Amino acid sequence: MKITKDGNDIAEFAYDALGLRVRKKDMVADVNSLYYYNDNWQVLAESDANGTTQRWFVYGNYIDEALMMVSVGVMYDESADNNRGTAVYCGRRLP
């Protein structure tokens, strides 16, 4: 699927047979992302076009229970009391 604006390509997405997005190409930001899923259809990791992991995710017991996202050296704890998440380092919440 491709998104265009005024005749210019903005973004392009690719999906697998299950309908999960496996690739995103952002032409404006010049970023290509690949997505990897587990058996529960949860995104486990996101990498760039070279295969370098950019983000990975940790889930709890439930399919929609995202506990943590690690993004290029920074972790976000989604289980924090506020809905914005809390930066953590080495699995511990930072103040």
Give Cβ neighbours of residue 48 (< 8 Å, ≥ 6 apart): 31, 32, 33, 34, 54
Q: Is the pTM of this model over 0.85?
A: no
Give pLDDT tens digits for 60-80.
888 788 888 887 755 555 555
Give Cβ neighbours of residue 86 (< 8 Å, ≥ 6 apart): 76, 77, 80, 93, 94
Whether 42 shows a pLDDT value over 50: the answer reads yes
